[in-house]
């Protein structure tokens, strides 16, 4: 029986051919394909400026720089995310301030957000976990009352929407990821949706050594930049992926519905929020009933692998990592994030899956858990 990974990108023959054309062209770094992809992403985001970068991590860091965040500032986010969300805050010299997760949505608990805001707070980074959007209306109302910039970590929510408005068409600074496991991939890469051309120009300088080039061949550097431009090879993949994004996400929603239909509810697993209107279903993540299990999560993952099924973990609560423990964070401080992070598993979900693959996964989960439940 073939191994079923928890995710796998769908790359069609036309995209593979397009990559070959880039390689044959001799122009493989940032070039015309990047320009085309930026234009198509801008149209996707309602005409807003969009600029590509080599990773969503880089786009988040540069977004904070554009927002004027630096040493002495605080940025509020949720500990239930990939570590990059907090790393970029520290990279610009600011301090991450965590707010617990909402047990219902698994996103940042907006009921607790204002209590975390201090005079040093400059921005908030909400995370759309598994592609389920944070409540944009409440979030921006809070940010507006306190004069905060919002850097949306929409790494997982490409193609999702908030009350009909696609993520990226509204809001402040919006970061998307095109990592290999995302709903739309460039192999690696990301982009930032900006508010105006002035921000876009600054972003262009930050992603490539702060350089401004002039028609006469001279150049200037007036900001400290880095090296995070996307290649035309990656952009060629992204152009093909963007054409299929709606179909990819529609299929993900179909597969998620099948999971809800066939998942064994007697196991006591807590299933994710059942949102088929707004979420792009980047991941399907039940929470294991660990207190009733005679095996650990690690053993569950190993036993699923023995049955030919890959299972991931997205994500441990990051404040429990050594980096943050050394800053004074300890277990028990964010109980909802800790509980979700300890019990979550990511089951296979990607567009090329067949209906019968979902049934196979559900059966394997039942066969693994039923004998070990008390």
Instruction: State how far the Cα of 72 lies from the Cα of 64, in Å rounded to an integer.
Output: 13
| Residue 284 dihedral angles phi and psi, to the nearest 5° | -115, 115
Active site residue 205: no
Structure tokens given for 122 = 């400059």
Separation between Cα atoms, residue 185 and residue 180, nearest integer Å: 5
Q: Per the residue annotation, which of 91, 182, 205, 305 is the catalytic one? A: 182
- Please check whether residue 225 is in contact with residue 65, taking contact to mean a CB–CB distance below 8 angstroms: no
Task: Note if the bond before 315 is cis, omega within 30 degrees.
Answer: yes
Residue found by looking up tokens 């070990």 in the block = 372
Distances, alpha carbon 99 to alpha carbons 7, 80, 108, 130, 336, in Å: 29, 9, 6, 18, 10
How far is CA 239 from each of CA 4, 12, 33, 50, 159, rounded to the nearest angstrom? 27, 11, 8, 14, 15
d(CA 127, CA 133): 8
- Is there a contact between 70 and 219 (Cβ–Cβ < 8 Å)? no
Return the percent helix, strand and coil in the chain, to nearest 5: 40, 15, 40
**Residue 357 near residue 6 (C-beta atoms within 8 A):** no
Active site residues: 182
């Amino acid at each position: 029986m073939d191994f079923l990974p928890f995710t796998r990108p769908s790359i069609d023959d036309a995209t593979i051919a397009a990559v070959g054309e880039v390689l044959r062209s001799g122009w493989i770094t940032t070039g015309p394909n990047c320009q085309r992809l930026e234009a198509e992403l801008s149209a996707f985001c309602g005409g807003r400026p969009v600029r590509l970068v080599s990773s969503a991590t880089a786009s988040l860091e540069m977004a904070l720089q554009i927002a004027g965040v630096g040493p002495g500032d605080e940025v509020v986010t949720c500990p239930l995310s990939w570590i990059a969300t907090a790393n970029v805050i520290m990279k610009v010299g600011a301090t991450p301030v965590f707010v617990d997760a909402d047990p219902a949505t698994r996103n940042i608990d907006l009921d607790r957000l204002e209590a975390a805001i201090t005079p040093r707070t400059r921005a908030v980074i909400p995370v759309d976990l598994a592609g389920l959007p944070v409540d944009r209306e409440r979030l921006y109302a809070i940010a507006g009352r306190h004069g905060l910039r919002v850097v949306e970590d929409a790494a997982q929510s490409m193609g999702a929407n908030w009350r009909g408005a696609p993520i990226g068409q509204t809001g402040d600074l919006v970061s998307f990821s095109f990592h290999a496991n995302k709903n739309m991939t460039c192999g690696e890469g990301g982009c930032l949706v900006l508010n105006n051309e002035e921000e876009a120009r600054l972003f262009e300088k930050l992603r490539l050594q702060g350089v401004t080039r002039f028609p006469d061949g001279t150049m200037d550097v007036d900001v400290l930049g880095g090296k995070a431009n996307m290649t035309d090879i990656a952009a060629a993949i992204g152009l093909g992926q963007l054409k299929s994004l709606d179909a990819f996400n529609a299929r993900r929603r179909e597969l998620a519905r099948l999971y809800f239909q066939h998942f064994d509810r007697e196991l006591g697993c807590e299933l994710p929020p059942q949102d088929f209107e707004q979420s792009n279903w980047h991941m399907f993540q039940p929470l294991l009933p660990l207190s009733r299990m005679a095996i650990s999560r690690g053993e569950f993952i190993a036993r699923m692998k023995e049955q030919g099924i890959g299972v991931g973990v997205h994500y441990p609560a990051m404040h429990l990592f050594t980096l943050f423990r050394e800053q004074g964070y300890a277990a028990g401080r964010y109980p909802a994030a800790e509980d979700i992070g300890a019990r979550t598993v990511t089951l296979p979900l990607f567009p090329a899956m067949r209906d019968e693959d979902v049934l196979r996964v559900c059966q394997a989960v039942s066969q693994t858990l039923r004998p070990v439940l008390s």
